[in-house]
Structure 1
């Protein structure tokens, strides 16, 4: 039976796949019979995700790769060494992200820079190397060979509702995620003729390790007073939206968009 999303046998790269939203996205793609390359700095947890994916769907190949998205050389290696059984990649999901919260008066340059390096620079590097794959290029106008159409593809970046509304103690995070949003719109224009779509998702409060570290009193306030659905989202809620955006068959006329998935939030 053909899935409604028609993602089977496509190759997807998912960063930040060792936990949270990235892990949920990886598993969801495997369930659609995608070949998935999962990347993260946390090798042990990444291998656990790969193990949990094994056997979910017949024929899917899951490859775990250690990668710090803030390292140019490691990101280049990630895309230059895609498994021969699954390359080229036509789907990229940029889930890698960190927080280093604090009031600006106490925030160090290192706290600022770490967040920019992972959240913004990392997204840029992964997009650049994904787009550098030869199969995704426009045919050369000077070549004597018959022109071939680029494969096309889909990039989904993870921004945040904090990018649009701000949040106390998160000037570094808000700036990085605002940058991801703006970069998404600019990049979508740049690669549209190559049949590549670029969108971003703006999650609200999602039940991941990042939010579990928040004090219970704060979480209770958020659920009852800030999120109108009065509950945190689950990683699968975000993963389902990402799969829709990854599918050229179901969201092929959507690009350059930032779609909020927050249970209706008012920060």
Structure 2
């Protein structure tokens, strides 16, 4: 897959899955808009992309803010003239049982995981419709498909991402914009490092392939959906979960 001449914007690309996606796209020729609320992490990603010989621009926009997202896409247009690929990866967790969950835990997860995707899709569609081409890939989760104890906020937000994906696939097809989602299962990232080993072992036993996934596993699915190999695929959810949920 060759992304030479393409510009990709990846939210939450300072670390974990988002960083891996950004680096994989850059390694195949894409210029990258790196977005993360951590300036330190985002700078490190930019440096690695530039070391690959590609151009990168840093933006620490909070995806939950419509104004900051609009400014981020304006920056991308100013720097690269267009945005061909948008990967909505930024996300947070604030796990708790229903009866203990606070309004703040619910609101934060919804603002970043769901409203953030909405904000970025809206700005992306406005820009992509001008060029008549675009690939939007939203990162959902197996939790959004099957539910998960202690994650009512996270599961609801990621289920909402799937609904956004299917709706916008119908709305934006007229502009030659493909909208798809990737739903990771249990992936070994900095976000899951704090999960106790006993819980990790329990999760792995539920995976037919017998292992946790890697950020590269998710990046490879994203690369396919971002490429022209998937030009006739839209409104779909690619479950990259080792068989955890079928």
- Give the shorter-chain TM-score range: over 0.9
How much does 1:153 deviate? 0.9
How much does 1:83 deviate? 5.6
* Separation of aligned partners in 1, 2:99 and 2:112: 22
How much does 1:94 deviate? 0.4
> Do 2:2 and 2:29's aligned partners in 1 also have CA atoms closer than 8 Å?
no
Stretches of 4+ moved more than 2 A in 1?
none
Query: For 1:229, which of 205, 209, 212 is the aligned residue?
Result: 209
Name the counterpart of 2:38: 42
5+ residue gaps, structure 1, are 138-149
Query: For 2:151, which of 158, 163, 170 is the aligned residue?
Result: 170
What is the number of equivalent residue pairs in this alignment?
A: 246
* Separation of aligned partners in 2, 1:6 and 1:151: 20
Q: Is it true that 1:11 corresponds to 2:4 in the alignment?
A: no
More helix as a share of residues: 2
How much does 1:98 deviate? 0.4
How much does 1:9 deviate? 1.3
Cα deviations by residue, 1:209-244 (Å, 9 ceiling, x for unpaired): 111111111101111x21111111110110011011
> Do 1:61 and 1:86's aligned partners in 2 also have CA atoms closer than 8 Å?
no
Q: Is it true that 1:212 corresponds to 2:205 in the alignment?
A: no
Q: Is it true that 1:160 corresponds to 2:154 in the alignment?
A: no
* Separation of aligned partners in 2, 1:82 and 1:164: 32
Cα deviations by residue, 1:185-227 (Å, 9 ceiling, x for unpaired): 000000001000000000000010111111111101111x211
Q: Is it true that 1:79 corresponds to 2:59 in the alignment?
A: no
| Pairing 1:175-186 to 2, within 5 Å after superposition | 175-186=156-167
Query: What is the root-mean-square deviation in Å for CA atoms of aligned residues?
Result: 1.3
Larger Rg, first or second structure (1 or 2): 1
Name the counterpart of 2:179: 198
* Separation of aligned partners in 1, 2:117 and 2:19: 17
SS at match of 1:37: strand
SS at match of 1:197: strand
Q: Is it true that 1:259 corresponds to 2:234 in the alignment?
A: no
